[in-house]
Amino acid sequence: MANSSVKPNYFRAATVGLWEENPTFRLLIGMCPPLAVTTAVQPALTMGLSVIFVLVCSNVAISLMRNLLKPHLRIIMFTLSIATFVTICDLYLKAFQPLMSEILGAYIPLIIVNCIIIFRAEVCASKNNMAFSFLDAIGTGVGFTIALCILAGIREILASGSIFGMHIMPKQFVPWAAMQMPVGAFVTLGLLLGLSAFLTRKK
Amino acid sequence: MDRVTALVMGFLSVVIVNNFVFTKFLGTCPYLGVSGRLDTAFGMGMAVTFVTALSGILTWMIDAWILIPLHLEITRYICYIIIIAGAVQLVEMYVRKFFPSLYKSFGIFLPLISTNCVILGLCLFLDVWETNNLAEAAVLSTGTGFGFAVAICIMAGIRENLVLSDVPESFKGAPITLITAGLLTLAFLGFSGMIK
């Protein structure tokens, strides 16, 4: 991070969110969606794309108004701009993806209070120019979506033997009902975090 | 009498059977982040209970008496978030004035209550549950906050003992906490279906 304060490193901004500062696996922020919407891959992917949309729009908007922000009012400005983009996203899903909107339910409006978005607004968008914040938002958002899809993939395969609704497991496979329940979410994520800590330690 | 029974049942339901942390994964961030010590967890639980009760009642009133009659549902999320931020500000000033030591031990987590999903989640679920009178809204919001306090206190109690146990190196910290949380949800699953 040392050289980014001297000269903004655009390549690094776009890639740091993928693994090194992956919100779910490394920073452990914004933990509600990875646990709540990962019973199947399709809702997880919809959730990931919605978060990318909101993150990109709010990062760009906040970066454009960063010189106007007053320190004591900045958090409320962040939340209000995020709430606006979440409303847009929610209305879009209700109109064009009614099934997904029904499955995700209250978790779409809950993007407003997702720590990832307010965290990127605070540490990146309120200090850097528009292009840099844009790339940063894309990187973080994609990293988050990948994490969601990995978790949802594991849970969907083990819970129903299928992925995207297609059967892939052999007939003898007995579905693990527990994977569909809250306990499956917590334990899978715990094991994945343990695995990622194990792999990083070896390096 | 029937109404009182319904309210008591509603309260028990959101505290135990439909606990937000265990069944809807809301408020997982503070649940994993602030549950290291029992006294901080208890303080956090009480602060969240207060904010949830206050903002649940306020948002229900604004939603039912202002937004729906004027057909302004589209601004719902923005109104909710302003009310929650205001309620958190109130609690912050109160705690700083009357409990300075508690204020210090919360640090950054106190202003972050406004981004706690339990609170916004409850305000949204009051719509989903079709709450149609103020008493119900008040009982459900207090119960939800209380349920969060119960969950975080149980977790803190377990984690205080977890420190002393022999956990594999790569599972120290967050991974073992998540697995513990998973086992806790499994235990609370035993209550499911008892009350609707």
B105 at A interface, C-beta within 8 A: no
Helix (H/G/I), strand (E/B), else coil: B190: helix
- Condensed to tens digits (0 to 9), the pLDDT of residues A168-200 reads 777 777 888 888 888 888 999 999 988 888 888
Helix (H/G/I), strand (E/B), else coil: A167: strand
Instruction: Tell me if B25 and A30 make a contact (CB, 8 A cut-off).
Output: no
CA distance A30 to A117: 9
Instruction: Tell me if A31 and B26 make a contact (CB, 8 A cut-off).
Output: no
A148 at B interface, C-beta within 8 A: no
Residue B159 lies inside a defined structural domain of this protein: yes
A103 at B interface, C-beta within 8 A: no
CA distance A71 to A89: 28
The pTM of this model reads: 0.87
Report the share of chain A in percent with pLDDT over 90: 32
Contacts of B32 in chain A (CB under 8 A): 28, 31
Question: Phi and psi (nearest 5°) for A143?
Answer: -60, -40
Tell whether the model's pLDDT for residue A87 goes beyond 90.
yes
Tell whether the model's pLDDT for residue A156 goes beyond 70.
yes
CA distance B136 to B132: 7
Contacts of B125 in chain A (CB under 8 A): 106
* pLDDT for the residue A119: 85
What's the whole-number average pLDDT of chain B? 86
Report which of residues B74 and A202 the model is more confident about. Answer: B74
Give, rounded to a whole angstrom, the gap between the first and last alpha carbons of chain B: 19
CA distance B121 to B64: 17
Residue B103 lies inside a defined structural domain of this protein: yes
Supply A128's token pair.
């850097």
B65 at A interface, C-beta within 8 A: no
Contacts of B119 in chain A (CB under 8 A): 113
> Total domain count for chain B?
1
Residue B112 lies inside a defined structural domain of this protein: yes
- Condensed to tens digits (0 to 9), the pLDDT of residues B18-60 reads 888 888 888 888 888 778 888 888 888 888 898 899 999 999 9
* pLDDT for the residue A140: 92
Tell whether the model's pLDDT for residue A126 goes beyond 50.
yes
In terms of residue numbers, what domain contains B102? Answer: 36-166
Q: What residues does A167 pair with on adjacent strands?
A: A162
Supply B25's token pair.
């994964």
Q: What is the least distance, in Å, from the CA of A115 to any CA of chain B?
A: 7
**Token pair 């760009």: residue:** A60
Supply A36's token pair.
């709540």
Instruction: Tell me if B82 and A80 make a contact (CB, 8 A cut-off).
Output: yes
| Cβ neighbours for B174, distance < 8 A, ≥ 6 positions apart | A28, A190, A193, B32
Q: What is the least distance, in Å, from the CA of B190 to any CA of chain A?
A: 12
Residue B136 lies inside a defined structural domain of this protein: yes
Contacts of B117 in chain A (CB under 8 A): 32, 110, 113
**Token pair 């490193």: residue:** A9
State mean pLDDT over B154-180.
88
A158-to-A190, B117, B159 alpha-carbon distances in Å: 16, 28, 29
Size of interface A-B (CB pairs under 8 A): 127
* pLDDT for the residue A6: 47
CA distance B88 to B82: 10
CA distance A118 to B14: 29
Q: pLDDT category, A5, cuts 50, 70, 90?
A: very low
Q: What residues does A162 pair with on adjacent strands?
A: A167
Torsion of CA A29, A33, A39, A40, to 10 degrees: -100
Residue of B nearest to A187 (CA): B179
Calculate the CA B39 to chain-centre distance: 17
* pLDDT for the residue A39: 85
Contacts of A198 in chain B (CB under 8 A): 170
Tell whether the model's pLDDT for residue B105 goes beyond 60.
yes
Tell whether the model's pLDDT for residue A116 goes beyond 80.
yes
User: ipTM beyond 0.85?
Assistant: no
Helix (H/G/I), strand (E/B), else coil: A20: coil
Give me Rg for the CA atoms of chain A: 18
Q: pLDDT category, B196, cuts 50, 70, 90?
A: low
Tell whether the model's pLDDT for residue B151 goes beyond 90.
yes
* pLDDT for the residue A203: 58
Give me Rg for the CA atoms of chain B: 18
- Condensed to tens digits (0 to 9), the pLDDT of residues A16-65 reads 878 788 888 888 888 888 888 888 899 999 999 999 999 999 999 999 99
Instruction: Tell me if B81 and A83 make a contact (CB, 8 A cut-off).
Output: yes
* pLDDT for the residue A2: 42
Q: Of A103-112, B68-77, B99-108, which range is least confident?
A: B99-108
Residue B20 lies inside a defined structural domain of this protein: no
Report which of residues B171 and B195 the model is more confident about. Answer: B171
Tell me which H or E stretch contains B54: helix B38-62
Contacts of A90 in chain B (CB under 8 A): 77
Q: At what angle do helices B134-162 and B117-128 cross, to 10 degrees?
A: 140
